[in-house]
Amino acid sequence: MSTLFLFGAFVFGAILGSFINALSFRLGTGVSIAKGRSRCMRCGHTLGAHDLVPVVSWLALGGRCRYCSTKISIQYPLVELTAAVLSLFVYLQFSDPLTYVYWLAVWMILLFVAVYDIRHQIIPWSCSGLLALLALVGLYVGIVPITWGSIIAGPVLALPLFLFFALSRGRWMGLGDSVLQLSLGWSLGLTLGLTAFMFAFWIGALVGIVGVLLRRGVTMKSEVPFAPFLIVGAALAFFTHVDLFTTLPLFFQ
């Protein structure tokens, strides 16, 4: 596998991460996503190309605006670096151009959903719909292996979250989480999707307990967006190929 292609996948992911950052700040604000130069949100100064190099510019500027010295959110380099790593991991698993582009699109949308949900505690319906469409396209063209398990995985995994939403009338869980889980189920399949689901609950519980113990503004009644945990759980299962429901039985033979 060419080092040049690996580097290219990393850089391409970082560039997409920069776009995800801009989108997370502009979507729903009335500011055009496609038009308009990037500006400092404090002083309004138009940013040049040397201010917008993913990760590198933030580090070179010491995390501050070149023109007014206002602190620049750590979100920028973290999202860009995460997108770069995701792109690299996808390429390491799927070097075929079509499959790489497909899964890269899926993971970039999931990264945006996680970032947006953390910032605004809502999942845009446009993203949920696009993820569901991509999952069905993946099943149709064979990028995602189509079996009865993969077909029923979406509804089966989405049902518990939908019941949480319906029974609590939206207090425990948002409807967007169940729609997101529908897409993840179709994309991962039944057993891998169940593994990702379990990872999400374990990670969410761990973060909640640590937050309460450290008294970082987190209580048992705090509202915590769940989509990021679903996405992290999916990433762990997808990239590590850990499938608890096909691996655990081996220990009991």
pLDDT tens, 149-167?
Answer: 788 999 999 999 999 888 8
Average pLDDT over residues 221-234: 84
Q: Is the pTM of this model over 0.85?
A: yes
pLDDT at 234: 96
Q: Is pLDDT larger for residue 231 or for residue 169?
A: 231
| Residue, of 246 and 181, whose pLDDT is higher | 181
Higher pLDDT, 206 or 83: 83
Give the pLDDT score at 252: 36
Q: Which two tokens stand for residue 77?
A: 């380099």
Which of 21-25, 75-79, 178-182 shows the lowest mean pLDDT across its residues?
A: 21-25
Please compute the mean of the pLDDT values over residues 10-36 and round it to a whole number: 82
pLDDT tens digits, 112-147: 999 999 988 888 888 888 999 999 999 888 888 877
Percent of the chain clearing pLDDT 90 (strictly above): 45
Of residues 187 and 174, more confidence is placed in 187
More confident residue, 216 or 65: 65
pLDDT of residue 34: 60
> If you ran DSSP here, which 8-state letter would residue 71 be given?
B
Summarised one tens digit per residue, pLDDT across range 67-119 is 888 898 899 999 999 999 999 999 999 989 999 999 999 999 999 999 999 98
